[in-house]
Structure 1
Amino acid sequence: MLMVVVSGLSAGACGPEGDLDDSRHLEERRDKAISFYDDRQDVYAHPDAALVGLAINSTPTMMNVSGAPTPAQVAASQILGAKEGLCSGQRFYNDPTLGGCSGVLIDDDLVLTAGHCVWTSCGAEDWVFGYYRTNATTVASMSSEDYFTCNEIVLNRRRESGASFNEDYAIVRLNRPATPRFTPARVAFGNQPFPLGQPMAVIGAPSGIPLKIDSAGILRSQYTGGLFKSDLDVLGGNSGSALYAQGGYTVAGVLFAG
């Protein structure tokens, strides 16, 4: 089950204060355009204990590493502000950018992600749990118990491989079971569609930074073949993120575009 997310993030270049007039004007017309409010929150700051638990216990991040990142590696990694050329003061400016794609644990040793994040056989897809902030200045310590390598690509419906546009998902088998240390998320199943307006949430690593939760989305539209759209704040790095139907906290889809 797949989805496209329509993001509500604004973008602009650094410059003199007067250059911001247009963005302020759009902000004032929020009801007539789109929302420019960034609803992403760090794991430690989010008020929903169930979503926090899913972030900590069910959400690995793909990284190009050879072992769990040490605190020194986290501290030495390129920060988001430098990587993206952000203005000082932008949210998450000092976050490290160790992540690649996102994923979700759906069985003892299976991770669901986007098809374009992996290939038909294992490459450098290492998966690390515990990539989140415990407070405003600290990323959680990660150990060898949190680090997994790819053992097998169980399946991959990847658009570049001839699948249709609304088929972009993959299942990766890890080199060992992640349970009981980590807990698989529950996956929605059956043919009953979610209703329009269904509250939605996303958990992932936008731009490769530590996990963020956005729980302010709703289901906007649905199409044949399992494709649906929601208004959640996502960026590159969120590919493969689980989209949760709030209420039952079940995985309703996987992010592949936005």
Structure 2
Amino acid sequence: MKNLVKNTLLASAALLILPLLSFAEDAKSIYGADSRKEYFQLDAAQKALANSTVSFWKSAAVTAEGSGFTLKTVNFGDRLNLCPDAKYREQPIGAFCSGSLVGEDLVMTAGHCIKTDAQCQDTKIVFDFNIRSEGGAAVTTQPAGNVFTCKKVVKRFLAGEPNSANPTGQNLGADYALIQLDRKPAGRKPLAINRGAKLKRGDGIFVVGHPVGLPLKLADDARVRDFSKVGYFTADLDTFGGNSGSPVFNARTKKIEGILVRGDEDFVDSPAGCTAMATYDQTGGRGEDVTKIEVLAAFIPKLAGEKSVPEELEVRDVDSSSIQPAEGASRSVSFD
């Protein structure tokens, strides 16, 4: 439960390592069978996508060690008093959000992950926080080439904030941020976004990110539930806090369709006195919310060789009277 997780974290002395944002805001959960997979379990195409995703860390949790950096983590099970049979119970957690490389030095995430330039500059962006072999440990010692600083917020929007109204007739809306890194990552390819035909109910999708701040996981076997909302769609993705900002991919085209931003409860109290992951039938629960990529596609540079979208496939139904433009959203942010 959100309150349970919040209280557990507040009781800890290590809040600098795991920001409250990771678990208290916009919880997510498991639908049907848990479909999450480790990096080493992915096929070559999936690994190529995962290699261009990132985890977000407080600067205090990333310390220089020799020529590289060490990520400060804590034990997942111990931190949340997880039940003994909880999946990934003994793995480390530490990241507070997820994201994806969509330009040479441009990372896409959720707007609630990075709210100000000051927070941006106090955030480290890390590639390859994952587990690379069966029985192996998470990669918590990173070369300098995998660790970046958030230089500035390029575009940001969070529906419901001052001057960023929710779409007419909706209690929720879009949630996104584009941030610039302090330098261009070497050997990393920006991910392709969908600029053409839209998803529809029942289409297959998958997500790559860091649930609860864990090493990278890919969760597939998910489908779009509702694509009718302005600014976002709902799906049955297996995600948690920490997945916020994760890229959501089209299972067929492997292009990004959106950003994971909200969902159902993460955890519940077990009668045994421990904490269990919240689970629902495949079609149960409220579902997980994904900001539609069409809302911010105009701010993401086209990849080399990317063709223009045919006129008949261009996205046309984003109501500018309902969703504030990114410039308006940026003006609503207080950069202390």
Q: What TM-score comes out, normalization by structure 2 length?
A: 0.62
Task: Assess if the C-alpha contact under 8 Å between 2:95 and 2:210 holds in 1.
Answer: yes
Equivalent of residue 51 in structure 1, options 46, 50, 61: 46
Matched, 1:134 2:132: yes
Equivalent of residue 108 in structure 1, options 101, 104, 111: 104
Cα pair distance change 1:90/1:224, threshold 3 Å: closer
Where structure 2 has 5 or more consecutive residues not aligned to the other structure, the ranges are 1-25, 167-171, 264-336
Aligned-residue offset at 1:7: 5.4
Equivalent of residue 217 in structure 2, options 178, 199, 212: 212
* Deviant stretches of 4+, over 4 Å: 5-8, 66-74
Q: What TM-score comes out, normalization by structure 1 length?
A: 0.80
Aligned-residue offset at 1:133: 0.4
Task: Assess if the C-alpha contact under 8 Å between 1:186 and 1:250 holds in 2.
Answer: yes
Query: What's 1:18 paired with?
Result: none
Task: Assess if the C-alpha contact under 8 Å between 2:29 and 2:240 holds in 1.
Answer: no
Distance 1:6 1:200 in 2: 19
Cα pair distance change 1:217/1:205, threshold 3 Å: same
Cα pair distance change 1:62/1:209, threshold 3 Å: same
Query: What's 2:158 paired with?
Result: 158
Q: Which structure ranks higher in relative contact order (CA pairs < 8 Å, sequence separation ≥ 6)? A: 1
Task: Assess if the C-alpha contact under 8 Å between 1:6 and 1:229 holds in 2.
Answer: no
Aligned-residue offset at 1:79: 0.8
Distance 2:64 2:87 in 1: 23
Name the aligned partner's letter for residue 145 of structure 1: G
Secondary structure in structure 1 of the residue aligned to 2:117: coil
Secondary structure in structure 2 of the residue aligned to 1:207: helix
Query: What's 2:328 paired with?
Result: none
Cα pair distance change 1:8/1:113, threshold 3 Å: closer
Equivalent of residue 85 in structure 1, options 75, 81, 85: 81
Tell me the C-alpha RMSD between the 2 structures. Answer: 2.3
Distance 2:143 2:63 in 1: 5
Distance 2:52 2:252 in 1: 17
Secondary structure in structure 2 of the residue aligned to 1:253: strand
Equivalent of residue 175 in structure 1, options 182, 185, 192: 182
Aligned-residue offset at 1:224: 3.6
Distance 1:234 1:94 in 2: 18
Secondary structure in structure 2 of the residue aligned to 1:232: coil
Distance 1:238 1:143 in 2: 23
C-alpha distance after superposition, 1:38-68 (max 9, x if no partner): 111111123x32122211x211100113546
Question: Matches of residues 11-26 of structure 1 in structure 2 within 5 Å?
Answer: none
Distance 2:222 2:230 in 1: 21
Aligned-residue offset at 1:77: 2.5
Distance 1:158 1:173 in 2: 18
Distance 1:112 1:161 in 2: 19
Aligned-residue offset at 1:236: 0.5
Name the aligned partner's letter for residue 250 of structure 2: A
Cα pair distance change 1:68/1:225, threshold 3 Å: farther
Aligned-residue offset at 1:69: 7.4
Task: Assess if the C-alpha contact under 8 Å between 1:59 and 1:105 holds in 2.
Answer: yes
Give % identity: 28
Aligned-residue offset at 1:252: 0.2
Cα pair distance change 1:91/1:42, threshold 3 Å: same
Task: Assess if the C-alpha contact under 8 Å between 1:115 and 1:168 holds in 2.
Answer: yes
Aligned-residue offset at 1:139: 1.8
Secondary structure in structure 2 of the residue aligned to 1:183: coil
Distance 2:184 2:118 in 1: 17
Where structure 1 has 5 or more consecutive residues not aligned to the other structure, the ranges are 10-33
Secondary structure in structure 2 of the residue aligned to 1:172: strand
Aligned-residue offset at 1:160: 5.1
